[in-house]
Amino acid sequence: MVVALVAALALCAGFAAGRLRARRRRSPSQRDALCRLAAEAFPGGVLLLFDRRLRHALATGRGLKAIGLSPREVEGRTVREAFPAEVGAVFEPAYRGALEGRESAFELPHGDRDHLHKVVPVRDRSGAIVAGMVVAQDITDRKTREHRLKEWASRDGLTGLWNRDRLVQELDRFLEEGRRRDDRAGSLLFVDLDGFKSVNDTLGHAAGDDLLRSVARAIEARVRYTDTVARLGGDEFAVLLPGAEAAQAERVAEKIAAAVESAWPPGLRGGASVGVALLERGSRTAADVLSTADRAMYAVKWRRAS
């Protein structure tokens, strides 16, 4: 969208460049009016034109009002005069870079909205740089959609828990922090359901799906908000417990096992085997930790069966 806006307004910049070279104030010309109309055609867009003194000659677009500004508050003022100090500190280097022939693009929040800004030089017919131009577009809705899509891609479709990929990402991030900090303790629980196949065989797959959802809620209810609960696939779950050492992790594992058993359909035998792997200092990968937790889970399952 911003690229299209830049292309559509390039002609306007050429019009306004002539206005800058005149070095005197005039009433808006028909060309200026057309330029403003072009900028207004882009919802949430902003067009700023500035001279070599970093003073704004033109400020237009629907987005100005959205960020709490009007053309009158920007036109005739320098970048430092028109914007708050924290915004000016970002804009000024980009403005100077444009006047030296460099283009730049960056995201910046204005109020509760996010905008993508592109700052480019404006050249006359001989190729000389005579001004700079800023084109900004509100990208809040786009970023919200992207965030939702990314989150949906990280969720298990049946239970709503995080999926295996997201767990691996969180685990890798935790391990990386642990390599930088000596006090980064934590544990990983590997939860495998016992007797789940009999639920599907006896009550049907719909009942099995209901049980998986119930188990997901039961696990979430026994851990902290800061813990990561994921469904790895099938009847396997995992829980990342940052800061939990062995004793605490074992207590959580016992609570989860009891909660899963309580969620089991009446008349059928079942429950969960929960293995614990400590996230110790070192350079282990997420795959290593998952493998360790998986082995610990099978040791618990063997003890439950014997």
Helix-helix angle 205-221:196-203, to 10 degrees? 140
CB-based contacts of 245-249 (< 8 A; 24+ apart in sequence): 245/185, 245/187, 245/278, 246/187, 246/276, 246/278, 248/187, 249/187, 249/189, 249/276, 249/278
Active-site annotation holder among 156, 235, 288, 294? 235
**Virtual torsion, Cα 163, 168, 173, 177, nearest 10 deg:** 130
- The span from the CA of 81 to the CA of 91, in Å, is 12
If we measure between CA atoms, which residue out of 168, 267, 163, 270 comes closest to residue 216?
163
Whether 156 sits among the annotated catalytic residues: the reply is no
Q: Which residues are catalytic?
A: 235
